[in-house]
Chain A
């Protein structure tokens, strides 16, 4: 059994934002095995980068601890830094220096011997195929070249593990694929443990041995891609009905249908409880302050009421084995009982579904701070213009 290169225990980070306290990472624990590609998957602001920054000793944890390559991040930060390579989410090269000069400076900072320095630099440039670009200023590199140079730099001091924060963010599909190939090669041929963060499902799927789904600073699931998808046990059929009544009727009809693993009714954005209290208010108003009638009135007669009815759920997801074969019989059931189906789609399970399954929603985007936005704009400019 492989040993653990990273062991995290109850790691917590609380940021003070003005007078508020934001708990970015909420006491997470996990371990990474030596030689695996371990991925953090989650939306922006989930706490992935904060976790990585704590593991690389750039941020002090509020509480909890972790061991990286056998060293404690709180007590031996220097030893941790010596044994890890880090590729940041944002570009961190000096664009006024050449590729080789960037690597040289890095080698000196990490105490690489003067004799082996040059040979090491050439070796790394070879791995990322930048040998012929070594003496060009980094400002003249393309986005993908910069990323590759950063990976080469991260490997220069032979780290035990390499941290990659969003390695392919903002890169075009071809470049992304080539970076993926490089990462796989490093892992397979050189046996380097790789810990990466991403919010691209397909990236986590294509690269990672194990995926850790993280959201709101908590670990929601941690397993191989196969096993995570296995929890979904089949295809997803999404159905949309005319109204809530039809949906309910259909749900009752297919209750005993073979092969169904789960039926999920997709609630529209309005909060259910809010809706019910509103409904009660409307009913009280209609009955003129008297005790509301026990039986619901015909909703079509009342505008407000029919509006309420329209906001009731009309969509459902059915998770079913061999969905494409069974969809015909499902439609037949609906036709036989006179239920109209407005739309129907069948999806193979993807990590996207996995994410929705575990978090109850799709991956979202969030606004960054002003400084971060500014940096992002500058970075983008650096990447595209130069």
Chain B
């Protein structure tokens, strides 16, 4: 009886000190890896110049590009557990007396931080380049967009975590790029605006649609070209719901799997 109780305690036991330590590790690693920082900034700028300035309606596309950059960063952060698995560090975490939920939450926090930083760098750069026009309220808009950036980062990292529970090595990364990330990217309405078309209802199964929609609500407020499909609170609730579903599912799968 005592053992059963201990088992249940273990399942719901979350040690936040450890979660934060794991998150800190992720963050330190990101900062030390200069190439990763540079790549992410360059990739975001490339998106911005190709899609933002080449296709018309700069502001609309720019607002959509920010969640996409976070998508790439977040998935990569989530999937980096596969790298740990390949390099062996994963075992050290698995043999420690901490619950799997603690590990999952630590990874989510760390990944969210890393992906958010990229989002913040990009929103700052796009604003400097004048994608949203220069207006007195721009600075406030950026501040208001930061919570959306965090939510998007949390969502995509959770999705990355979920993918990583079933990934054994990096050979499957190509598969995930083609069958998951690219469809999420193209159907989110970031580049092509689906609002007002019948296709929009179909894009509601894509969690990124809500991120793009929320970002537009904030960055394009007062802009005549604004095009949003849902109220802001619906977007935020949908993002939270998707994130929680992903994180609970990945914690569940993770807990049931053996460690080596």
Interface, chain A (partner B; CB < 8 A): 53, 56-60, 72, 75-79, 81-82, 86, 88, 90-97, 101, 104-106, 108-111, 153, 371, 374-375, 378-379, 382
A83 to B22, CA, bound (A): 21
Which of A58, A96, A374, A378 contacts B260, CB < 8 Å? A58
A104 to B88, CA, bound (A): 18
Contacts of B84 in A (CB 8 A): 94
Contacts of A91 in B (CB 8 A): 87-88
23 residue pairs of the A-B complex, CB under 8 angstroms, read: A53-B259, A58-B94, A58-B95, A75-B7, A78-B6, A81-B95, A81-B96, A88-B92, A92-B90, A94-B29, A94-B89, A95-B87, A96-B29, A97-B28, A105-B21, A108-B17, A108-B18, A108-B21, A109-B93, A109-B96, A374-B86, A374-B169, A375-B88
Known contacts A53-B260, A59-B258, A75 near B6 by CB under 8 Å: yes
Which of A60, A72, A109 contacts B258, CB < 8 Å? A60
Q: Are A94 and B97 in contact (CB under 8 A)?
A: no
A68 → B minimal CB distance (Å): 12
18 new A-B contacts, CB < 8 A, other than A59-B260, A95-B87, are: A58-B260, A59-B258, A60-B258, A76-B6, A79-B6, A82-B97, A90-B88, A90-B91, A92-B88, A92-B92, A101-B25, A105-B25, A109-B21, A109-B97, A110-B97, A371-B168, A378-B86, A379-B88
A151 → B minimal CB distance (Å): 13
Which of B18, B25, B87, B97 contacts A378, CB < 8 Å? B87
Q: Are B87 and A382 in contact (CB under 8 A)?
A: yes
Closest to A85 in B: B95
A81 to B177, CA, bound (A): 37
> What are the 8 closest A-B residue pairs judged by CB atoms, nearest first?
A75-B3, A81-B97, A109-B96, A92-B88, A58-B259, A108-B21, A92-B92, A82-B97
Contacts of A110 in B (CB 8 A): 96-97
A382 → B minimal CB distance (Å): 7
B33 at interface (Cβ–Cβ under 8 A)?
Answer: yes
A310 to B115, CA, bound (A): 72
> How many B residues touch the partner, as a band?
20 to 34
A81 to B102, CA, bound (A): 15
Q: Are A59 and B169 in contact (CB under 8 A)?
A: no
Contacts of B17 in A (CB 8 A): 108
A90 to B90, CA, bound (A): 11
B10 at interface (Cβ–Cβ under 8 A)?
Answer: yes
A101 to B31, CA, bound (A): 15
Q: Are A56 and B95 in contact (CB under 8 A)?
A: yes
Q: Are A58 and B89 in contact (CB under 8 A)?
A: no
B14 at interface (Cβ–Cβ under 8 A)?
Answer: no
B232 at interface (Cβ–Cβ under 8 A)?
Answer: no
Interface, chain B (partner A; CB < 8 A): 3, 6-7, 10, 15, 17-18, 21-22, 25, 28-29, 32-33, 84, 86-98, 168-169, 258-260
B67 → A minimal CB distance (Å): 28
Contacts of B89 in A (CB 8 A): 92-94
Closest to B258 in A: A59
Contacts of A56 in B (CB 8 A): 95
Which of A93, A374, A379 contacts B92, CB < 8 Å? A93
Contacts of A75 in B (CB 8 A): 3, 6-7
Known contacts A97-B28, A109-B21, A78 near B91 by CB under 8 Å: no
B156 → A minimal CB distance (Å): 22
B109 → A minimal CB distance (Å): 14
Contacts of A106 in B (CB 8 A): 92, 96
A337 → B minimal CB distance (Å): 60
Which of A58, A72, A101 contacts B91, CB < 8 Å? A58
A19 → B minimal CB distance (Å): 19
Which of B28, B29, B95, B98 contacts A86, CB < 8 Å? B95
A153 to B152, CA, bound (A): 36
A337 to B22, CA, bound (A): 78
Contacts of B169 in A (CB 8 A): 371, 374
Contacts of A53 in B (CB 8 A): 259-260
A310 → B minimal CB distance (Å): 48
Contacts of B95 in A (CB 8 A): 56-58, 81, 86
Q: Are A76 and B3 in contact (CB under 8 A)?
A: yes
A379 to B10, CA, bound (A): 33
A97 to B260, CA, bound (A): 23
A59 to B29, CA, bound (A): 29
A285 to B18, CA, bound (A): 78
